[in-house]
Structure 1
């Protein structure tokens, strides 16, 4: 094999060299997709990084571009990339992935990323110390593997310090350490971790595709942890993805996940359930197919959305947002409102266009923001953290705010 490699490197044809440079084909059929447990991959199997690191400052060169991590069968080999720094080992052509049409069409104001940083599912949380904390799905390719949960801190939503890997799958995980098969390849990656400051402590909820969801708690009372499982270290709480938490002003805590079809109340210290899983009801469904991902067809378009829920409260009303696809492909929160946490919810509407898969939060000055990470080609950048100013209109709907504002 060493001799063959030398021959390829020295005198082989361009076609032979190109074949040698191709990433190795996944070892299982693509339809092997049920998350069955498997032994770890051989050493060196993955050449992509499992962390994203500190990132780079935003400049004229880093305002656009980013990463597009694909899991489609035809190009599951790679990641589209545009920007400074090292390209992923499996980089694919960029094409027109950051068209910015959501801005040029006047749907949101111009927005730049917070950092040039590969981060999906951006979450920003105002902590008990007055600082903002940010996390999300990290690493070069989360459809395959990453190392765990990374964290950043900011005093003003502009300057960000990297706090590193605050929870490692390998060192700190329980059931999460198990490798599985996903879409024909070795898989172990934390998806959509969210940091929350609830009842005086920091909690992180996360998920692993085909396995389930979990809640971690800080043992130090600090955002950087260390973190341990708040409950159920040996098995997932539910089979699903995209867990989210909501702490009410009366101390009650709620957990939902996936398309937010059900929700459960937790004990105030998140050590266990304080009730039963209960269906979430939507009183007036939006039956327009142009406002839904095709995954919602099987439910007759009667869901709030199909993944990535978030929940908050404003002016005495509960808001439940779930990501859906809007005219034709915007990845946005569909928001609905209710008088009670479990519903019934009403007035489903697209919130900040392209602002989905993260969260909606209020800053130290009482202003509202919606995170954006660029999960469709309407966005001005891709898989990087950003925030869009938001406000409530006369109907109580959260919409993009075009009034001049800086963080």
Structure 2
């Protein structure tokens, strides 16, 4: 009894402390001024979408569920032979972006046509990267990679769960970092690429392509090396991509850039700066109509202190200020008088290129 009386105040303190921390984060989300770390746990390429049921859904590149190495190898990069990435898609949902409910692993590479008849597979070497979830009328569409297993799959109803339908699986192979975009007129597209990037229209039933692929790029240079996606604001198509600030692999900061066009296939404007440390993040709109971008830990050192980070040259290694887990960074998105689109991270630690940035940018007009 004495032991219980000793433990109860400690548990109450922890509970109240956690609640206070959650309240502060909710206030920060409402203010929409600074980055907010919304969830712990090993993840890359976090993707958040607001579903038709008023829940936010979170997925991304993850370890296998309950992997004990998550604690002992917390800063694993997820790359190379020592990659911690598993072969399942994990999903969480939340009403407020703070309290997340775990929905387990509703998709696994084991369930795909590529592996269903295979009997000799070393599953410790199979990876599922960068899944995205999109609501397409009355069901969910999911795209995933790497290119050796890349695919497009559909749920059979409004819940994110098996069974999944994989139309013509060979059609969607060899697509690095696929992303899905649906235009206002209902025409949908698949984007993908690694150093060279492509967009291709999809059939209405998503069973394949309805036209040829078009290579797309900013007017003045290549977009980067991976993690592209597309949005539309007004009449402008915004093409977003990922690159290291130095243009050298794992040197500098992992950033997001964008360009705009009057057509989803281009031609596009010059490449513009969107945000530092936001590489392979995905913009999403919250319930208040505010835009955010997901961010995650991608570095070869532990996270840096963000103080005076704007002045630090990071060109000698791969660095980030993002803690392990999922961070969301507020975005300012404006339609300009000429119809073009201005996008930039609002948090000062993410808003400007660092001294290690290779490209020299013209100052955008807000």
Structure 1 residue 305 and structure 2 residue 231: aligned? Answer: no
Match of 2:162 among 198, 207, 226: 226
Distance 2:129 2:201 in 1: 22
Once the two structures are superposed, the pairs formed by residues 20-59 of structure 1 within 5 Å of their partners are: none
Deviation at residue 344 of structure 1 after TM alignment: 0.8
Q: Deviations over 1:157-192 (max 9, x none)?
A: 22211101011222x1221566889xxx96201011
C-alpha contact 1:135 1:193 (8 A) present in aligned 2: yes
Distance 1:356 1:109 in 2: 20
- Equivalent in the alignment of 1:389: 330
- Equivalent in the alignment of 1:367: 290
Deviation at residue 388 of structure 1 after TM alignment: 0.5
C-alpha contact 1:196 1:204 (8 A) present in aligned 2: yes
Once the two structures are superposed, the pairs formed by residues 324-339 of structure 1 within 5 Å of their partners are: 324-326=243-245, 329-339=252-262
Structure 2 gaps of 5+ residues are 1-16, 23-31, 64-69, 71-75, 304-318, 349-366
Q: Give me the TM-score of the superposition, normalised by structure 2.
A: 0.68
Structure 1 residue 261 and structure 2 residue 205: aligned? Answer: no
Deviation at residue 381 of structure 1 after TM alignment: 3.0
Distance 2:156 2:259 in 1: 35
CA RMSD of aligned residues (A): 3.0
- Equivalent in the alignment of 1:296: none
Distance 1:343 1:267 in 2: 20
Once the two structures are superposed, the pairs formed by residues 221-300 of structure 1 within 5 Å of their partners are: 221-222=158-159, 224-233=160-169, 235=170, 237-259=172-194, 261-282=197-218, 284-285=219-220
Match of 1:352 among 275, 279, 298: 275
Match of 1:401 among 346, 351, 354: 346
What SS is found at the alignment partner of 1:351? strand
Distance 1:227 1:256 in 2: 25
Structure 1 window deviating more from structure 2 (114-123 vs 371-380): it is 371-380
Relative to structure 1, the CA distance from residue 236 to residue 147 in structure 2 (aligned partners, 3 Å threshold; closer, same or farther) is same
What SS is found at the alignment partner of 1:123? strand
Q: Deviations over 1:246-280 (max 9, x none)?
A: 11121111101124621111123312212111222
What SS is found at the alignment partner of 1:175? coil
Distance 1:390 1:199 in 2: 27
- Count residues with an aligned counterpart: 278
Structure 1 gaps of 5+ residues are 1-57, 64-107, 286-301
Relative to structure 1, the CA distance from residue 111 to residue 325 in structure 2 (aligned partners, 3 Å threshold; closer, same or farther) is same
Structure 1 residue 121 and structure 2 residue 64: aligned? Answer: no
Relative to structure 1, the CA distance from residue 350 to residue 148 in structure 2 (aligned partners, 3 Å threshold; closer, same or farther) is same
C-alpha contact 1:147 1:168 (8 A) present in aligned 2: yes
Structure 1 residue 198 and structure 2 residue 136: aligned? Answer: yes
Deviation at residue 240 of structure 1 after TM alignment: 3.6
Once the two structures are superposed, the pairs formed by residues 95-174 of structure 1 within 5 Å of their partners are: 110-139=34-63, 140=70, 142=78, 143=83, 145-170=85-110, 172-174=111-113
Q: Deviations over 1:192-220 (max 9, x none)?
A: 111111233211100035x1420111112
Q: Give me the TM-score of the superposition, normalised by structure 1.
A: 0.62
Distance 2:256 2:92 in 1: 24
Structure 1 residue 207 and structure 2 residue 207: aligned? Answer: no
Match of 2:265 among 339, 342, 361: 342
Relative to structure 1, the CA distance from residue 374 to residue 109 in structure 2 (aligned partners, 3 Å threshold; closer, same or farther) is farther
Distance 2:296 2:115 in 1: 25
Relative to structure 1, the CA distance from residue 147 to residue 262 in structure 2 (aligned partners, 3 Å threshold; closer, same or farther) is closer
Relative to structure 1, the CA distance from residue 366 to residue 144 in structure 2 (aligned partners, 3 Å threshold; closer, same or farther) is closer
Deviation at residue 147 of structure 1 after TM alignment: 3.4
Moved over 6 A (4+): 177-181
What SS is found at the alignment partner of 2:173? coil
Structure 1 window deviating more from structure 2 (324-333 vs 241-250): it is 324-333
Distance 2:84 2:345 in 1: 34
